[in-house]
Amino acid sequence: MTWPYKDLIAIHDLKREEIATILDMASSFKEISKRDIKKVPTLRGKTVVLLFYEPSTRTRLSFELAAKRLSADTTALSASGSSFTKGETIMDAAYNVMAMAPDCIVVRYPYAGIPRKMAQLLPCSVINAGDGYHEHPTQALLDMFTMKERFGTLDGLRVAIVGDIMHSRVARSNVYGLRKMGARVVLVAPKTLLPPGVDTWGVDVSAELDPVIPDADVIMMLRVQKERLNRQFFSGDREYSFFYGLNRARVEKMKTDAVIMHPGPMNRGVEITCDAADSARSMILDQVENGVAIRMTLLYLSLGGSVNVD
């Protein structure tokens, strides 16, 4: 079959073969960013609009660079600089953007469901750049690509995802994707930062970090998403860091070839110390580099590039 989607809303929607195809294709797109002239004409004449109604450094910049490296035109809008501040709804904004004939809208929004609603109602491609606690599919794809580059396969890999699982769209997308690709996932968090129903996710769960470390191939640390906390979920940063932070002592207990990942932004000194974040095991900047390649792949596929998915 050929790639069947105009949109990318959730890893939950993708089959194992489709994820495998995206990861395979990303290697050739990555090569473009290593050239002196980092630009190919593939999407010349296409227009990509970035609607970011939440702050972003990595996702927004890498989508913009990805589109530009494929020769698409880009323009970006953030909530603070838009008529959202005058009361205009996101869907009204989307219809107005659509009237200007974009080929693709990349959208980040603080609540779940808006990217799917746009995909259903608009004729252009829609890519979810993160919606509330729901999903961050491009992040999970770049994370899986980074792991596959390092280990050769995701099958059988032991991945620990540590921290604020409850509020993390990154955790959800990674759990869905990693399980489809045959990895074994363990979620590590205080009970207050685990979502209801996590026992149905098909993953192991641990309230303690230390026993998980020696078995993990990948330790993915998550930021505590204070902007989403509407009450006290733990007693303070120092206690959180003591029980759940990745520090030098814990890094020394990792397997010889195990790696550290973090989707960013990091809160250094809370979930991860500088020792850990800047250690030779850290793949945090590899993740950022790979974000451009994954987003080039997805823009190519969403804007008409075809590929066989067997």
Which CB, 139 or 146, lies closer to ligand CP?
Answer: 139
Q: Min. distance of Cβ 138 from ligand CP in angstroms?
A: 8
Contact 260, 284 (CB under 8 A): yes
> In this structure, what are the phi and psi dihedrals at residue 296, rounded to the nearest 5 degrees?
-60, -45
Alpha-carbon distance 186 to 92, whole Å?
Answer: 41
DSSP 23: H
Alpha-carbon distance 217 to 197, whole Å?
Answer: 26
User: What residue type is 308 in one-letter code?
Assistant: N
Which CB, 205 or 288, lies closer to ligand CP?
Answer: 288
Is residue 139 a contact residue for ligand CP (CB under 6 A)? yes
Which CB, 63 or 240, lies closer to ligand CP?
Answer: 63
Which residue in the set 193, 221, 263, 267 belongs to the binding site for ligand CP (CB under 6 A)? 263
Cβ neighbors of 242 (< 8 A, separation 6 or more) are: none
Which CB, 213 or 261, lies closer to ligand CP?
Answer: 261
- The 172-201 site mask, x for binding ligand CP (CB under 6 A), equals ------------------------------
Q: Min. distance of Cβ 143 from ligand CP in angstroms?
A: 9
Which residue in the set 137, 177, 245, 264 belongs to the binding site for ligand CP (CB under 6 A)? 264
- The 218-257 site mask, x for binding ligand CP (CB under 6 A), equals ----------------------------------------
The token pair that represents 189 in the structure block: 């968090």
Residue 220, burial from CB neighbour count under 10 angstroms (0-12, 13-18, 19+): buried
Is residue 265 a contact residue for ligand CP (CB under 6 A)? yes
The CA–CA distances, whole Å, from 276 to 12, 128, 160, 208, 250 equal 31, 30, 15, 18, 9
Is residue 21 a contact residue for ligand CP (CB under 6 A)? no
Is residue 137 a contact residue for ligand CP (CB under 6 A)? no
Which residue in the set 57, 83, 89, 306 belongs to the binding site for ligand CP (CB under 6 A)? 57
Piece in contact with ligand CP (CB under 6 A), picked from 33-41, 50-58, 70-78, 88-96: 50-58
Kind and range of the H or E run holding 205: strand 204-206
Contact 222, 240 (CB under 8 A): no
DSSP 81: G
Which residues are 205's β-sheet partners? 187
Q: Min. distance of Cβ 239 from ligand CP in angstroms?
A: 25
Cβ neighbors of 53 (< 8 A, separation 6 or more) are: 78, 79, 84, 90, 107, 108, 109, 110
CB atoms within 10 A of CB 172: 22
Q: Min. distance of Cβ 79 from ligand CP in angstroms?
A: 14
Is residue 56 a contact residue for ligand CP (CB under 6 A)? yes
Which CB, 184 or 295, lies closer to ligand CP?
Answer: 295
Which residue in the set 5, 27, 40, 58 belongs to the binding site for ligand CP (CB under 6 A)? 58
Q: Min. distance of Cβ 184 from ligand CP in angstroms?
A: 23
Cβ neighbors of 281 (< 8 A, separation 6 or more) are: 251, 254, 258, 259, 260
Residues 71-130 binding ligand CP (CB under 6 A) are: 130
Binding site for ligand CP (CB under 6 A): 56-59, 130, 139, 263-265
